[in-house]
């Protein structure tokens, strides 16, 4: 067993941990990063990246099928078929490429990756064991960055077997397409996967406990998605609570209480459970470190510098609370490395963008009109439809009824938030969040020339609309 | 009517709990928004928390000395409209677990954990307002620059990072951009001027100026100019400063003023200083009360003490003289001082009133100051500047106490008065002023 001592120990090589390790090493700190799985974390191995690959493949399949009947003057003769093992393999190659990339970056920057699972003995010491339980290293460190991430929440009465009852992880590795899937939990993870599977031809039934799907968004933003779900015959049962699942062979009989309180059941090939994620706070000695949890008890309590109550112990990313987003984790990882290196930093972003890759895509940056009003702001709001954007039409991105919506303060026209819904709008998020971080007022965006023909013009026009003088809409 | 549960706000970076120092309100009180509610002490500062709402206080948690956690409900208000909570003890108003060893009022019913939110919320919580190192109150909206999302200072990430690096509190910087956005140039300006208090807008500078105004230097002004040039060019000055504890002198002065008769003038510090100087000139410091006649190379020491008193008048600086101070008691000194100074001011002074001084005092009292380098009234050999007496913290017997302190500035003609002599006189003066019964 190797004895290692270092200045910075990072636990978990997800988008928070690996970024923290690279930055710490760049700053000349002697850095060790411990990861039991492949480097890359949920995001890269079983989250953002593989799901986007499958979503893209599903889009391609859907459009190929559209061309079977002839579309745009393009016609596909014969069958369009799906080879799931090949699709999964294509997706795995992307993941592998990025995984190797992360490992190479760690190495190139001088952060050493130790393979194995860390178990803390106290706040500054841990053992690392391999998957067979053999101790491979004993590490003592001056600073610890905890970046252990999160995992899907399991329903106690229908635990994941990844065969019949699957998590988002299982949904990304389907070797065979089922005919009928039930999705429990109509949040963004369930609907991203649900939309993709629907495009691949799977019948989808969503069982949601609240009265709407993706309830983090307001009704106006949700509407294009709800329309798509309806048009594509995705059954959505809201105000329904799953009660249990009876597995018989390759079928699952799922029962739930409907909104009238009656128990109903239906048989599916698989049930995908996406009811949220929980921080990985147990099983690796967190309780030995004297670190305080937050009020909910679900996350590690941190201050604006991601410091825990214990000196020299930091918690970043999903482990310290919502939003559970890779880019939040990365930003915090970078910041904590700089704090350890003696720089003055605090995690005080104006906005953390949230993006959902459903059909259509949804972007929300900063405050929605409701949130701004609740915060006491007097606001003006402008909405520009993608149907009036030339580039959107050439991409057929207007078909899902999307728009860009701008929320600004009435008095000084400071942009408080921007939301967009529509095909391909995720790529607009950078412009939105840049506007917010730079403290842009409406005239800043109005006075910026946006290239034609691009969908970014929709942001420009949304701002003009907010100012009351949009050009391309009435 | 609704219930508004007020949770102890995040009162500073990393502060997780605070000690109750003092309540400004009690249960049943009607408070307005921004009224002071409670003083909470953290390891960084004592913070006065203002009321976020207008309403009636239904309950409070935490007695002075107790610890409250940030985020714990510390006050419940009854407010107009809906409020943000139900009565305490019900599920959506889960009181914070009490901090170790401190037991606030127990919740009336067992409380449930709130249900986990179904999905991550995309909007970040507003960050805490920075708290300075001293007694601070948190204004509900008092930022100088523009306010961004969540009420924070409006600035780009690079500007915010620079502010962090340079330890600048952005809420104290005026932003010149649209919506009050703070730029790098604003930080430069802030660093240059330091920071002026409050939300001050700098006045607009005027147009570049041109032209001059000529004032002929004639009459008394010319005389003063000549005298000053002569004094300053011919006399090698040195200056010496001291501070004097006049607490007891002040008590004596007050007592004398209270018990004076109708004819006796109200005494300032000057008669005491004059009388102390008389005593010093007689007892070993005779060399400071003289004229140096440099052409003859003779130092003429005077037995009479004729004290010149530098006096500002509408027409310029005059030095009326109190003659034969050595033959007067404190009341007479006070009376004569008043007379000659008044005569100088209203232009009725005789030539005799304005000539013949052997030593000069320039009282800088009203203008305060901590030190000056007075110019000797030639051909005298010394001059004493007297500064305003103010209460200051000083160390007495190892403790910091408040004493009334007065600074003295003196200048001497180094040709005939050495440093030791000038200093000795000032030290003697200090001793007498600090033991004022020895003056009288």
Query: What is the model's pLDDT at position B135?
Result: 40
Residue A373 lies in a domain: yes
Taking residues A42-61, report their average pLDDT: 96
What would the DSSP string read from start to end of A186-218? -SHHHHHHHHHHHHTT-EEEEE-SSSSSSTTS-
What residues make up the domain containing B157? 147-192
**B145: helix, coil or strand?**
coil
Alpha helices by DSSP H, A110-248: 168-171, 188-199, 219-231
Tell whether the model's pLDDT for residue B209 goes beyond 70. Answer: yes
User: Distance between CA atoms of A106 and A123, rounded to whole angstroms?
Assistant: 24
Query: pTM score, two decimals?
Result: 0.61
- Digit-coded pLDDT (tens) for A389-430: 999 999 999 999 999 999 999 999 999 999 999 999 999 999
Query: Could you tell me if A38 and A101 lie in one domain?
Result: yes
- Tell me, what's the pLDDT at B202? 64
Tell me if B13 is assigned to some domain.
Answer: yes
**B303 torsion bin: left (phi>0), alpha (psi -120 to 50), beta (else):** alpha
- Name which residue leads in pLDDT, B383 or B62: B383
Q: Where are the alpha helices (DSSP H) in A3-78?
A: 17-26, 41-46, 48-68
Active site residues per annotation of B: 414, 418
Query: What is the domain-level CATH number for residue A382?
Result: 3.30.390.30
A77 within a domain of the structure (yes/no): no
Is A437 a domain residue? yes
Same domain assignment for residues A412 and A440: yes
Q: How confident is the model at residue B121 (pLDDT cuts 50, 70, 90)?
A: very low
Judgement on whether residues A91 and A104 belong to the same structural domain of the protein = yes
Which residue of chain A comes nearest to B178, CA vs CA? A441
* Boundary of a domain, candidates A218, A252, A275: A275
Name the A residues in 375-394 with CB < 8 Å from any B CB. 375
A345 touches chain B (CB under 8 A): yes
At residue B333's C-alpha, the angle toward residues B328 and B337, to 5°, is 145
Assess whether A217 and A283 both reside in one domain: no
CB-side exposure of B134: number of CA atoms within 13 Å? 0
**Contact predicate B242/B425, CB 8 Å:** no
Give the domain range for residue A305.
Answer: 2-53+85-151+278-340
User: To the nearest whole angstrom, how far is the Cα of B39 from the nearest Cα of chain A?
Assistant: 22
In a domain, A67, yes or no: no
- Which domain CATH number covers A284? 3.50.50.60
In our burial notation (b when 16+ CB lie closer than 10 A, e otherwise), range A220-235 reads bbbebbeebbeeeebe
The partner residue sitting opposite B181, judged by closest CB among A275, A417, A439, is: A439
Name the domain boundary from B192, B210, B229: B192
Chain B residues near residue A275 by CB distance under 8 angstroms: 118
Regarding whether A227 and A111 lie in a shared domain, the answer is no
Predicted local confidence at residue A206, as pLDDT: 97
Interface test mutation site (partner A, options B179, B181, B184, B186, max chain A beta carbons within 10 A): B179
As a whole number of angstroms, the distance between CA B237 and CA B254 comes to 36
Of all residues in chain B, the one with the smallest CA distance to A413 is B179
Q: Are residues B226 and B176 in the same domain?
A: no
Question: Which chain A residues touch B164 with a CB distance below 8 Å?
Answer: 344-346
Distances, alpha carbon B340 to alpha carbons A221, B223, B266, B360, B379, in Å: 88, 20, 15, 14, 21
ipTM of this predicted complex?
A: 0.74
Q: Which of A237, A257, A275 is a domain's end point?
A: A275
CA neighbor of A137 nearest in space, from A5, A286, A280, A283: A5
- The answer to whether residues B158 and B124 belong to one domain is no
Q: Which two tokens stand for residue A109?
A: 């920057």
Q: What is the mean pLDDT of chain B?
A: 80
The verdict on B115 touching A (C-beta cutoff 8 Å) is no
Q: What is the pLDDT of residues B72-100, one digit of tens each?
A: 888 888 888 777 776 554 444 444 444 44
Which of B 56-95 lie inside 8 A of A, CB atoms?
71
Of A296, A313, A340, at which residue does a domain stop? A340
Q: How far is CA B264 from the centre of its chain?
A: 35
Q: Give catalytic status of residue A452 as yes or no.
A: yes
pLDDT one-digit tens code per residue, B281-322:
998 898 999 999 988 999 999 999 999 999 888 878 889 999
Cα of first residue to Cα of last residue in chain A, in angstroms, is: 72
- At residue B43, the pLDDT reads 58
Same domain, A141 and A176: no
Same domain, yes or no, for A26 and A136?
yes
What span, in angstroms and rounded, lies between the C-alpha atoms of A168 and A154?
11
Which residues 318-337 of A have a C-beta within 8 angstroms of B? 322-325
């Amino acid at each position: 067993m190797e004895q290692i001592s270092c200045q910075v120990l990072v636990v978990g090589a997800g988008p928070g941990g690996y970024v923290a390790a690279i930055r710490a090493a760049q700053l000349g700190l002697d850095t060790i990063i411990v990861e039991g799985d492949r480097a890359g974390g949920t995001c890269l191995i079983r989250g953002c990246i593989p799901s986007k690959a499958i979503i893209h493949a599903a889009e391609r399949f859907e459009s190929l099928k559209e061309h079977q009947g002839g579309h745009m003057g393009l016609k596909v003769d014969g069958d369009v078929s799906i080879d799931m093992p090949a699709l999964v393999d294509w997706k795995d190659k992307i993941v592998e490429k990025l995984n190797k990339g992360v490992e190479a970056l760690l190495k190139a920057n001088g952060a050493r990756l130790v393979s194995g699972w860390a178990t803390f003995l106290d706040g500054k010491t841990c053992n690392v064991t391999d998957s067979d339980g053999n101790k491979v290293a004993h590490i003592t460190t001056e600073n610890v960055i905890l970046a252990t991430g999160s995992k899907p929440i399991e329903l106690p009465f229908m635990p994941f077997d990844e065969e019949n009852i699957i998590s988002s992880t299982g949904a990304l590795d389907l070797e065979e397409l089922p005919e009928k899937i039930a999705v429990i939990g109509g949040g963004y993870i369930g609907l991203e996967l649900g939309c993709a599977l629907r495009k691949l031809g799977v019948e989808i039934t969503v069982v949601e406990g609240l009265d709407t799907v993706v309830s983090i968004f307001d009704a106006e933003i949700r509407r294009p998605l709800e329309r798509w779900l309806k048009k594509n015959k995705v059954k959505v049962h809201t105000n329904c609570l799953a009660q249990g699942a009876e597995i018989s062979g390759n079928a699952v009989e799922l029962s739930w209480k409907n909104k009238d309180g009656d128990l109903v059941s239906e048989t599916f090939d698989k049930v995908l459970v996406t009811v949220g994620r929980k921080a990985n706070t147990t099983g690796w000695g967190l309780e030995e470190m004297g670190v305080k949890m937050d009020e909910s008890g679900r996350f590690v309590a941190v201050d604006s510098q991601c410091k825990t109550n214990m000196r020299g112990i930091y918690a970043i990313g999903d482990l310290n609370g919502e939003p559970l987003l890779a880019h939040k984790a990365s930003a915090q990882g970078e910041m904590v490395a700089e704090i350890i290196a003696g720089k003055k930093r605090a995690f005080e972003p104006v906005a953390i963008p949230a993006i959902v890759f459903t059909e259509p895509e949804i972007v929300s940056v900063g405050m929605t009109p409701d949130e701004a009003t609740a915060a006491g702001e007097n606001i003006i709001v402008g909405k520009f439809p993608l149907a009036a954007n030339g580039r959107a039409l050439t991409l057929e991105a207007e078909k899902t009824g999307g728009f860009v919506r701008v929320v600004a303060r009435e008095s000084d026209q400071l942009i408080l938030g921007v939301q967009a819904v529509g095909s391909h709008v995720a790529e607009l998020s950078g412009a939105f969040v840049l506007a917010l971080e730079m403290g842009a007022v409406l005239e800043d965006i109005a006075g910026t020339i946006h290239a034609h023909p691009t969908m970014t013009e929709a942001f420009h026009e949304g701002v003009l609309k907010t100012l009351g003088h949009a050009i391309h809409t009435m | 009517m609704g219930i508004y549960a007020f949770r102890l706000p995040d009162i500073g970076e990393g502060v997780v709990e605070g000690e109750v120092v003092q309540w400004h309100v009690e249960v049943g009180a009607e408070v307005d928004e921004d009224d002071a509610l409670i003083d909470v002490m953290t390891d960084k500062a004592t913070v006065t928390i203002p009321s976020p709402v207008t309403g009636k206080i239904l309950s409070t948690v935490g007695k002075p000395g107790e610890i409250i956690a940030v985020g714990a409900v510390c006050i419940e208000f009854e407010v107009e409209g809906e409020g943000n909570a139900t009565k305490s003890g019900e599920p959506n108003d889960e009181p914070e677990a009490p901090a170790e060893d401190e037991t606030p009022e127990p919740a009336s019913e067992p409380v449930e954990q709130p249900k986990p939110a179904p999905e991550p919320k995309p909007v970040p919580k507003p960050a805490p307002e920075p708290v300075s190192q001293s007694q601070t109150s948190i204004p509900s909206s008092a930022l100088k620059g523009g306010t961004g999302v969540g009420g924070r200072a409006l600035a780009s990430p690079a500007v915010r990072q620079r502010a962090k690096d340079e330890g600048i509190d952005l809420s104290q910087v005026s932003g010149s951009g649209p919506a009050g956005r703070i730029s790098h140039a604003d930080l430069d300006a802030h660093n240059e001027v330091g920071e002026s208090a409050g939300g001050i807008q700098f006045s607009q500078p005027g147009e570049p100026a041109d032209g001059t105004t000529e004032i002929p230097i004639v009459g008394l002004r010319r005389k003063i100019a000549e005298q000053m040039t002569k004094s300053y060019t011919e006399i090698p000055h040195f200056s010496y400063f001291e501070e004097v504890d006049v607490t007891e002198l002040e008590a004596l002065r007050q007592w004398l003023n209270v018990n004076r008769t109708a004819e006796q003038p109200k005494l300032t510090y000057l008669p005491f200083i004059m009388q102390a100087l008389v005593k010093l000139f007689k007892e070993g410091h005779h060399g400071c009360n003289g004229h140096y006649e440099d052409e003859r190379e003779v130092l003429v020491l005077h037995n009479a003490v004729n004290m010149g008193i530098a006096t500002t008048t509408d027409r310029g600086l005059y030095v009326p003289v109190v003659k034969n101070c050595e033959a007067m008691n404190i009341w007479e000194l006070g009376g004569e001082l008043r007379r000659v100074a008044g005569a100088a001011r209203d232009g009725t002074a005789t030539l005799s009133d304005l000539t013949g001084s052997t030593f000069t005092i320039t009282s800088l009292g009203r203008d305060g100051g901590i030190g000056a380098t007075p110019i000797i009234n030639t051909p005298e050999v010394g001059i004493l500047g007297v500064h305003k007496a103010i209460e200051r913290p000083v160390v007495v017997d190892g403790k910091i106490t408040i004493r009334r302190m007065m600074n003295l500035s003196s200048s001497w003609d180094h040709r005939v008065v050495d440093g030791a002599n000038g200093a000795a006189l000032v030290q003697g003066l200090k001793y007498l002023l600090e033991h004022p019964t020895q003056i009288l």
